[in-house]
Amino acid sequence: MRSYLEATARERLQRLLDPGSFQEFLPPSSRVVSPHLGQLNAPVAFDDGVAVGRALLAGRPVFVAAQEGGFMGGAVGEVHGAKLVGMLRRAINEQPDAVLLLLETGGVRLHEANAGLIAVSEVMRAVLDVRAAGIPVIAVIGGSNGCFGGMGIVARCTNAIVMSEEARLAMSGPEVIETASGVEEFDARDRALVWRTTGGKHRYLLGDCQALVADSVAAFRAAALDQVDRATAVPLTLDALEQEQALLTARLDRFGHVREPMELWRALGMDHPEALPLLEADAFVEHVAAVRLGAR
């Protein structure tokens, strides 16, 4: 079983997609690097931390992007964001069966300030344009940097999210919350707490992600393919958005007062919430099937 967590972005592309099928747009040899990092005397990467292109998934044409968490935590700079937007817009022209976003990112690359912020907002708009064109967008999250900040919002703009237990998804990351609100509010060094509040299992229980898989590239591949098939059943319509809003409102009413994720799991109907972190992915999915929110 090959770990998805430990693979680089390019290794994930090689192993998750059909072998040899990935064709990159703007490969490293085209040397489209960040114009900002050089001014700050900081190292650049030839792909600006993201590989985008077209490929085959079980023989089906897909467009795909993979963020490299090892380069600046996968953070989105101007070029990085423009590559994502360009790939998404090209998808509308070429009509692949789906777009896969292999996300691993801390969000905006703060070195690039407003250019990075604008880039992330453009990615959100482009994701919604692709969905409006009838092409499903699937987010795949399983890297050690998680998926945070503006890119956490991008992930939630997709049709479906596939996560592993090790994956994390949120807006503000643990250190940001601790810095802003104090260590009494959130202790970023408490790894169990961090995963209870942002990890894949919590997200799956709350209905924030649609599939939870073991940390293997093969499991991610199978789940991504499954979501491509299901995703067309959840179109981007006002009705679907209102249903989602109703789900979120009900969730807030029901759990807004809860201070600790484990209490929330208990309130959902889990008799032994302390046992949930110890379950393997498949056993966990089976165990929580009756109580998880947002099943569809």
User: Does residue 93 interact with other proteins by CB under 8 A?
Assistant: no
d(CA 20, CA 14): 7
Candidate ranges 34-42, 146-154, 175-183, 206-214; the one touching other proteins (CB under 8 A): 34-42
Q: Which of 138, 136, 134, 165 lies closest to 223 in space, CA to CA?
A: 138
Instruction: Output phi, psi for 96, to 5 deg.
Output: -70, 170
Residue 30 or 179 with smaller CB distance to other proteins: 30
Say if residues 197 and 179 touch (Cβ distance below 8 Å). no
Write out the binding residues for other proteins, residues 4-33 only, by CB under 8 A.
8, 10, 19-20, 27-29, 31
Q: Of these, 68, 97, 208, 215, which contacts other proteins (CB under 8 A)?
A: 68
User: Does residue 134 interact with other proteins by CB under 8 A?
Assistant: no
Angle at alpha carbon of residue 167, lines to 98 and 140, rounded to 5°? 5
- Number of Cβ atoms within 10 Å of the Cβ of 256: 7
Q: For the residues of 242-288, what is the DSSP string, one character each?
A: HHHHHHHHHHHHHHTT--SHHHHHHHHT-S-GGGGGGS-HHHHHHHH
User: Does residue 45 interact with other proteins by CB under 8 A?
Assistant: yes
Residue 47 or 165 with smaller CB distance to other proteins: 47
User: Does residue 43 interact with other proteins by CB under 8 A?
Assistant: yes
Q: Of these, 2, 6, 23, 42, which contacts other proteins (CB under 8 A)?
A: 42
Residue 31 or 296 with smaller CB distance to other proteins: 31
Site string for other proteins, 71-90 (x = CB under 8 A): x-------------------
Smallest gap from residue 47 Cβ to other proteins (A): 7
Smallest gap from residue 220 Cβ to other proteins (A): 20
3-state secondary structure 178-190: HHHHCCCCCCCCC
3-state class of 200 per DSSP? helix
**CA 48 from centre of chain:** 19
User: Does residue 215 interact with other proteins by CB under 8 A?
Assistant: no
Candidate ranges 64-72, 77-85, 169-177, 272-280; the one touching other proteins (CB under 8 A): 64-72
Q: For the residues of 61-77, what is the DSSP string, one character each?
A: EEEEEEE-TTTGGG-B-
Residue numbers at the binding site for other proteins (CB under 8 A): 8, 10, 19-20, 27-29, 31, 38, 41-47, 68, 70-71
